[in-house]
Structure 1
Amino acid sequence: MVIRLAESLEVPLRERNVLLLSAGYAPAYPRTDWADPAMAPVRTAVEQILRGHEPYPAIVVDRDGDLVAANDAFAVITEGVAPELLVPPVSVPRVFLDPRGVAPRIGNFAAWAWHVLDALRAQTARTPNARTDELIAELTAVVPERPTGPDHLGFAVPLQLDSARGRLTLITTLTQFATAVDVTVAELRLEAFLPADAATESLLRIP
């Protein structure tokens, strides 16, 4: 009954285990380490997906926003980032919003920063996480005040990024393993950075 109720309420697998323990039952959902041999098929699938997005940047992060994997094209985003921010575990929100990271190259930094922070707040509201709360507090202190209104038109907040190739305008998509029954796999999120215009597509296709 606990599992059925949790399924109906779309409770994340990690929290379902907590509910089961509270009800006096053993956890039902395993949490396998990413490096475990049993995860080899998942790692292979992730690598194929990441390669399939090239020449567009794409990454996979865990529930804390830490980088799990990235394709080679992600280097166009991390160029010039302080080396200490790229030492594992790499916090992707910190890489984007920290002044030593991508932040100085983001043309619409205020709008993008609050897009990231709002997403983090929505995530921790669904699945409370003290580490995410600490990250939100840290990054809120280093970003500009929230814009009074949108500085863009369209269906998504673009990432306007200055790069060695020129100004890139990117939109992002998020993908998850919707049918996962392992906590680690269920918490993975693939984020792809796709060109928002023909100019960006051409720049990303430069060898």
Structure 2
Amino acid sequence: MQRQATTGELLRDWRQRRRMTQLDLADSAGVSTRHVSFIETGRSLPSRSMLLKLGALLDVPLRERNTLMISAGYAPMYREHRLDEAEMSAAREAIERLLSAHEPYPALAVDRHWQLVTANRAAQALLAGLPESLLQPPLNVLRVSLHPQGLASRIDNLPEWRAHVFERLRHQYATTTDPQLAQLLAELQAYPGGEAPMAADARAAGGIVVPLRLRLDRTQVLSFLSTTTVFGTPRDITLAELAIESFFPADAQTAALLRAMAEPGD
């Protein structure tokens, strides 16, 4: 049976991932470097309040902060509710309002593994015609976008978009150490489509974003810029790991096409 990491080992790993020295962490926490060293080597067990402070300073995900608490013999600090539970009604309504208000532009909510939680009508319309096997729950939006039978065949700038997705996943894995993200990245990289550095599409958008160019037919292309919204100061693991992906038209033609697609009867 694999040995469980100690509290000190876990903290040292998170500190190194955040590229902080013991002195950096000690100064931020208002303690001595010697105290941080003693915690990491197991010579001193941090108090509950100190462990919470160190977890916050190291930006440890809430799920992993619970792991830290348990490793030190304390009760978990953060609860995890399903979105359909009564305690989450306010958050659930806020998510639905955000998605609805973004019409006629696509928006969707995803969990930490990029599985679809909910989507507005505009986002659902973009998935029309895809194989049912890809749309069965749990629907992974990155798999749907890069799978050769998914949206990949419609993405005009597929190599650039793949590179953008892979970079986001690498960063997310480095931040969370979630092994499922590493597995997802490996799966997506095995799909055909290549990778490319920033090209003309990104430069046309000012060089600061990578647009998603989605072809509707031979003459019509939707060009999107995307943003990510997360809940501020969440106290629940589900909310902390939930993100809302909103897509905005990158040009006037896209805005007009989306408004037309949203008209009744279309």
Task: Report the TM-score, using the length of structure 2 for normalisation.
Answer: 0.75
Structure 1 residue aligned with 2:91? 42
Q: What is the deviation of 1:149? A: 4.9
- Of 36, 53, 57, the residue aligned with 1:4 is 53
Question: How far apart, in 1, do the equivalents of 2:162 and 2:128 lie?
Answer: 18
> Residue by residue, what CA displacement relative to the aligned partner does 1:106-158 show, whole Å, maximum 9, x if unpaired?
00001001111110111011101121111111110113332255343022100
Question: How far apart, in 1, do the equivalents of 2:147 and 2:57 lie?
Answer: 38
> Residue by residue, what CA displacement relative to the aligned partner does 1:80-123 show, whole Å, maximum 9, x if unpaired?
22111111100010010001110000000010011111101110
* Local SS of the residue matching 1:205: helix
Question: How far apart, in 1, do the equivalents of 2:66 and 2:106 lie?
Answer: 34
- Of 214, 217, 222, the residue aligned with 1:161 is 214
Q: Judge which range, 53-62 or 129-138, deviates more.
A: 129-138
Question: How far apart, in 2, do the equivalents of 1:35 and 1:51 lie?
Answer: 18
Letter in 1 for 2:56: E
Residue 227 of structure 2 contacts residue 247 of structure 2 at CA under 8 Å; is this kept in 1?
yes
Q: Judge which range, 10-19 or 164-173, deviates more.
A: 164-173
Q: Does 1:141 align with 2:195?
A: no
Q: Which runs of 5+ in 1 are unaligned?
A: none
Letter in 2 for 1:30: R
Q: Which runs of 5+ in 2 are unaligned?
A: 1-49
Letter in 1 for 2:259: R
Letter in 2 for 1:66: Q
Number of residue-to-residue matches in the alignment: 207
Question: How far apart, in 2, do the equivalents of 1:98 and 1:201 lie?
Answer: 26
* Local SS of the residue matching 1:14: helix
Question: How far apart, in 2, do the equivalents of 1:145 and 1:107 lie?
Answer: 13
Residue 160 of structure 2 contacts residue 197 of structure 2 at CA under 8 Å; is this kept in 1?
no
Q: Which structure would you say has the larger RCO, counting Cα contacts within 8 Å and 6 or more residues apart?
A: 1
* Local SS of the residue matching 2:238: helix
Structure 2 residue aligned with 1:175? 229
Kindly, what percent of the aligned residue pairs are identical? 43
Letter in 2 for 1:56: Y
Change (3 A) 1:172 1:148: closer
Structure 1 residue aligned with 2:142? 93
CA RMSD of aligned residues (A): 1.4
Structure 2 residue aligned with 1:129? 178
Question: How far apart, in 2, do the equivalents of 1:53 and 1:148 lie?
Answer: 30
Residue 163 of structure 2 contacts residue 197 of structure 2 at CA under 8 Å; is this kept in 1?
no
Superposition pairs for residues 8-47 of structure 1, below 5 Å? 8-47=57-96
Structure with the bigger percentage of helix: 2
* Local SS of the residue matching 2:228: strand
Q: Judge which range, 91-100 or 134-143, deviates more.
A: 134-143
Change (3 A) 1:116 1:149: closer
Question: How far apart, in 1, do the equivalents of 2:255 and 2:101 lie?
Answer: 15
Residue 80 of structure 1 contacts residue 101 of structure 1 at CA under 8 Å; is this kept in 2?
no
Structure 2 residue aligned with 1:200? 254
Question: How far apart, in 1, do the equivalents of 2:68 and 2:192 lie?
Answer: 37
